[in-house]
Structure 1
Amino acid sequence: MFPAKLKRHFETHPDFMNKTTDYFKRKSDELHSIQKTFVSHVKTHNENALKASYLVSYELALAGKPHTLAETLIKPLLAIEVNCMVDEKTANLISSVPLSNNTVRNRIQDLSHDVKDTLISRISQTKFSLQLDESTDVAGLAVLMTFVRYELSGSFHEDILFCKPLPSSTSGSVIFFMLDAFFIENSIPWDNCIDVCTDGAKAMMGNIAGVVARIKEVSKKCTSSHCVLHRHSLATKKVPVVLKQVLDNAVKIINYIKTRPLQSRLLKILCEDMGAVHKSLLLHTEVRWLSRDKALSRLLELRTEVSLILNDQNSLLEDYLNDQEWLIKLCYLADIFSKINEFSTSIQGKQKTIFDANDKILALKKKVAFYIESDAQESIQKNCEWIINPFSVTSKPAALNAAEYEVFIDMVSESHNQTSFKNKPISEFWAQLGEDFSVLRSKAKLLLLPFGTTYLCEMAFSRYTATKTKYRARLNAEDDMRLQLTSVTPDIDKLSRKKQAHCSH
């Protein structure tokens, strides 16, 4: 200060007239300390609000809920609950978390890109197989769903590669160009792709312009497989004429009740009065392959109640339910479709290989004589016995050369390998095999990586339909679907550090 100002200051504050210089230095340090603490508190609060914003957005994406719920429902409810249970000051902190519709959308995009980058870094350095399928959503967009299976840290992983709408038609060339553009954009070498699994649509499996044919042009060693579920579904459609008539008449009976709301209500009342286990029939549709067994079984269980309803309506359909021969055929159809559905369900799920599907096919083949398509798979099984059950092989497999067979003998001669084979899934056993047997591990991986079915795509489309409803028809669901279907956990702390934290106003 200027001397005159300093003098006036002490005249107006006489209590500080005789204080030493150390006193004022100490006060100055205290003031700076308070300022730093306040800034640090504000910064920490903003950073926590940013992280909370990411966490809430992540949970919204996992649940497939609208992005507007965060601002319109979740935050107000949390503020009310905290205000009631804790105090108003803490409730105000909750209200400061940024959760607007645009903010949530941006957070989900950040999380999705982080997961995508992690996945691409993994598959760019290793062999992988693809599973892809196409379907139309509620907005009329043709959506391509693609999954990938790869090895990481001694085990096989499955993850969504992308979920993108096709720009125009669903031809093989358009689908391949989208795949190829994604691979080029993310520097993924096509040589790493060893197998493609899809359905039997012409756009996918066409010999010249199909997606698989085009992939094989850029990846010379890539193989392909037709989804076992789709082949199985095609085979089961060949029902003998006599049984087909029984199936059609059963569907007519079901539709007669289900398409008339009054009859459905009367059936429910009748079932309750008679103590039936079920109170309604189930519709059958060709698209839902499980419906054959479930619809027919339900009709058999409620045949007495349904017969009374049809009799009351003077419907000629009642005659079928009173015909013993017709009922016997209906029982046969219900039983055989039940066995078929058990098979179809058993080969679905994650980490299912073509060997799992083949074992189920061979078991079904013994039960159902008309299922012949699995013969082609039987030769594959025999040639790969050294992978499925290596410790029972007594002679050199045709798939192994002399040098590889010598390594194979060394491998099966080690007792701890046999113990490991019994205690681990087959894929983990081969993926975790020691470096001394790397030649066998690499050879086995090429046969264990391919998908046996397009189950992941079918499951993903079900989640996609639940997420992109008619009320959210404009949603670009790729980022939401990636977070719902991925096995990779996004690094929220890393994303939070990259962002400048701002509270909601």
Structure 2
Amino acid sequence: MRLEDISNQISNNVKDIIADCTHFSIALDESTDVSNTNQLLIFVRAIKEDFTIFEELLKVCSLHSTTRGVDIFNAVKSAVEGFGGFEKLSPVVTDGAKSMTGTISGFVGFLRQNQSTVPTLHCIIHQEALCAKSIKLSTTMANVTKITNLIRGGNRSLTHRKFLTLLEEMDSAYGDLLLHAEVRWLSRGKCLVRFFELRHEIATFPREEVTNSAELQNDLEDVEFLRNLAFLTDITQHLNVLNLQLQGKKQTICQMVGFVDSFRKKLHLFKSALDKNNLLHFPCCRKLSEEEGLEFRDYNEIIEDLSSEFKRRFNDFESFRTDISLFSNPIHCDIESQPGHLQLELCELQCDPSLNTSPVTGIDFRKLLSPERYPLLRNWALKLCPVFASTYICETAFSSLKHVKSKNRNRLSDVVLSHILQVVTSQLEVDFISLVSSFMKPQCSH
């Protein structure tokens, strides 16, 4: 039995799922592999009548020349036209690159030129990461990175070993510093936490052990740098919590927008607390305040700027706000403000005693709706639930791609790579019995 046969069975099952659903959504992301070939991943999200969600790889498009908006559009069009085309397609989520979001020469522009009204979304996790980069403490982060690199970066194995020995002698809480990787969403927060907790050990490390470090190590004695470090560590940790909430497969757009809304409320709480120098939600700032007697009231301006950045972004999700509100709370919503075709069924829903007392919410609540009594509400939910809100599933597939097509396997053909990724990323069960029986001379003993 060959990989191709397993991949083809999965692909056929995906086609059957899409054919049976009323709407499906796709997520697009593009990256360059180890052989400098641009790989466009197209994932599909569909939902059955029983509200079972499927997220599967629809197609791997290897773009050997350019990755312009027209190239991406043609690849997507070729992938979806066999499943009802753009008529059956609900929102498309992208990574936010210009070739994707450009309204003239980008994928979105060509989508509109072809008279398609399919909504397009910028990945909610990417937007959160862009908000995090707006914090005006880049110099502090740069100095943290420089000091870390002076100790354990590059060809500094001897310096690094001496530092590890110092940490062991001082019985430190952590055994080493962490290197910062800009492309990893959580790297900044983890690096800062480790640096802050080891700040005393770094300051104790003899300067003669680290070349060109005098100016940077002076920062560790500078109160202003320490204040910035403590605040940046705390606020980045809060952002990391949000980022982790947004990660994961099969999350609905309602859940993810709810996480962002909740963080906005937290920012208002943080600003109010800092106005009073209340450091309850800022453990690093509180620790530094107890040691040095410092105040952090002036950092509420950064919180306010961050809050404004969150308000400025995520506008593409605002068009779903009414639907999200209804999906999240159909029992207590204002019926008159809802779409007219749903109002009569909402009246019955809100007066249904079995549903009013049900403890389940979200998709599980929709499973309780009778198709005979609530057909319109079910169909409306079946259109909203498949919506992708992030390209997280594409990012995880790229991690698999990195291992599949490595430096030692960089000659894999596009077809073989597509088959491997189809199998690696799939959550569908493979019917091996039917595959074996389909061969002319199956080797049953194996």
1:118 aligns with 2:13: yes
Structure 1 segment 40-79 matched on structure 2, within 5 A: 54=1
Counterpart for residue 265 of structure 2: 366
Matched, 1:450 2:349: no
Matched, 1:108 2:3: yes
Partner of 1:255: 149
Is 1:239 the counterpart of 2:175? The answer is no
Q: CA deviation at 1:323?
A: 2.1
Residue 177 of structure 1: aligned partner: 74
Does the alignment pair 1:328 with 2:328?
A: no
- Indicate which of 146, 169, 184 corresponds to 1:273: 169
Instruction: Give yes or no for the alignment of 1:210 onto 2:106.
Output: yes
1:3-152 matches, within 5 Å, as 54=1, 107-126=2-21, 127-152=23-48
Root mean square deviation, CA, Å: 2.3
Alpha carbons of structure 1 residues 209 and 378: separation in structure 2 relative to 1, 3 Å: closer
Instruction: Name the SS for the 1:230 alignment partner.
Output: helix
1:433 matched to 2:369: yes
Deviation at 1:409, TM superposition (A): 0.8
Aligned residues: 393
Shift of 1:219: 6.9
Against the structure 1 CA distance between its residues 494 and 256, is the aligned structure 2 distance closer, same or farther, given a 3 Å change threshold? same
Change (3 A) 1:432 1:221: farther
In structure 2, the partner of 1:23 is: none
Contact 2:91–2:121 (CA under 8 A) maintained in structure 1: yes
1:190 is matched by which residue type in structure 2? F
- Distance change (3 Å), C-alpha of 1:203 and 1:360: same
The AA in structure 2 aligned to 1:321 is L
CA 1:388 to 1:374, structure 2 compared with 1: closer, same or farther past 3 Å? farther
How much has 1:221 moved relative to structure 2?
4.1
Which residue of structure 2 lines up, in the alignment, with residue 418 of structure 1?
356
**Partner of 2:423 in structure 1?**
483
Contact (CA 8 Å) 2:58, 2:79: kept in 1 or not? no
Displacement after TM superposition at 1:277 (Å): 2.8
User: Contact 2:25/2:386 (CA < 8 Å) preserved in 1?
Assistant: yes
Q: Which amino acid in structure 2 is aligned with residue 272 of structure 1?
A: E
Q: How far 1:216 moved relative to its partner?
A: 4.6
What do residues 452-473 of structure 1 show as CA deviations (whole Å, max 9, x unaligned)? Answer: 1111111111111122110011
Deviations 1:55-87 (A, max 9, x none): xxxxxxxxxxxxxxxxxxxxxxxxxxxxxxxxx
Deviation at 1:293, TM superposition (A): 0.8
Equivalent residue for 1:13?
A: none
Paired amino acid for 1:307: A
2:160 maps to what in 1? 264
- Structure 1, residues 429-479: CA drift from partner, whole Å, max 9, x if none? 335532221112222332332111111111111111122110011123211
Q: CA distance change for structure 1 residues 412 and 373 in 2, over 3 Å: closer, same or farther?
A: farther
Aligned residue among 358, 373, 392 for 2:332: 392
Alignment pair present for 1:160 and 2:54: no
**Cα distance in structure 2, aligned partners of 1:502 and 1:456:** 36
Counterpart CA distance in 2 for 1:225 and 1:379 is 10
1:332-364 CA-to-partner distances (Å, cap 9, x unmatched) read 111111100110110111121222121111121
CA distance, structure 2, for counterparts of residue 221 and residue 153 of structure 1: 25
**Amino acid corresponding to residue 498 of structure 1 in structure 2:** S
Opposite residue 421 of structure 2, the aligned amino acid is M
Where does residue 8 of structure 1 map in the other structure?
Answer: none
Please, which runs of 5 or more residues in structure 1 have no aligned partner?
1-53, 55-106
Supply the distance in 2 between the matched residues of 1:163 and 1:411 (Cα, whole angstroms).
43
CA–CA distance in structure 1, aligned partners of residues 116 and 225 of structure 2: 54
Q: Paired residue for 1:463?
A: 400
How far apart are 1:174 and its partner, in Å? 1.0
In the TM superposition, what is the alpha-carbon distance from 1:117 to its structure 2 partner?
Answer: 0.4
Deviations 1:159-181 (CA, angstroms, capped at 9, x unpaired): 12122311321111111212222
Tell me which moved more, 228-237 or 375-384: 375-384
The answer on whether the counterparts of 2:26 and 2:93 sit within 8 Å (CA) in structure 1 is: yes
How has the CA–CA distance of structure 1 residues 331 and 122 changed in structure 2, closer, same or farther, with 3 Å as cutoff? Answer: same
* Matched position secondary structure for 1:477: helix
Does residue 1:474 correspond to 2:411, yes or no?
yes
Question: 2-side partners of 1:168 and 1:441: how far apart?
Answer: 44
1:276 alignment partner, SS class? coil
How far apart, in 2, do the equivalents of 1:116 and 1:383 lie? 32
Structure 1 distance, partners of 2:151, 2:254, is 43
Using the TM superposition, give the Cα deviation of residue 374 of structure 1 relative to its aligned residue in structure 2, in angstroms: 4.5
Matched, 1:345 2:240: no
Corresponding residue to 1:295 among 174, 191, 198:
191
User: 1:496 aligned to 2:436?
Assistant: yes
Aligned equivalents of 1:500, 1:272: Cα separation in 2: 65
User: 2:254, 2:327 within 8 Å by CA — same for their partners in 1?
Assistant: no
3-state secondary structure, aligned to 2:120: strand
Q: Considering fraction of residues, name the structure with more helix.
A: 1
Q: Deviations 1:396-436 (Å, cap 9, x if unpaired)? A: 124x11x420111112221222344x325x12433553222
The percentage of aligned residue pairs carrying the same residue is 30
Q: CA deviation at 1:198?
A: 0.7
Aligned counterparts of 1:434 and 1:144: Cα–Cα separation in 2: 40
404-413 or 138-147, larger mean C-alpha shift: 404-413
Contact preservation (8 Å) 2:20, 2:48: no
Report which of the two structures shows the higher radius of gyration computed on alpha carbons: 1
**Aligned-partner SS, 1:371:** helix
| 1:274-329 CA distance string (max 9 Å, x none) | 21232221111221121111111111122222223352337312211122332121
Q: 1:412 to 1:135 in 2, by over 3 A?
A: same
Supply the AA of the counterpart residue of 1:250. V
Structure 2 letter corresponding to 1:347: L
Residues 358 and 374 in structure 1, CA contact (< 8 A), matched pair in contact too: no
Cα 1:301–1:458 change in 2 (3 A) is same
Q: Give me the TM-score of the superposition, normalised by structure 2.
A: 0.82
Query: What residue identity is the alignment partner of 2:343?
Result: Y
CA distance in 2, matches of 1:378, 1:123: 27
TM-score under structure 1 normalisation? Answer: 0.73
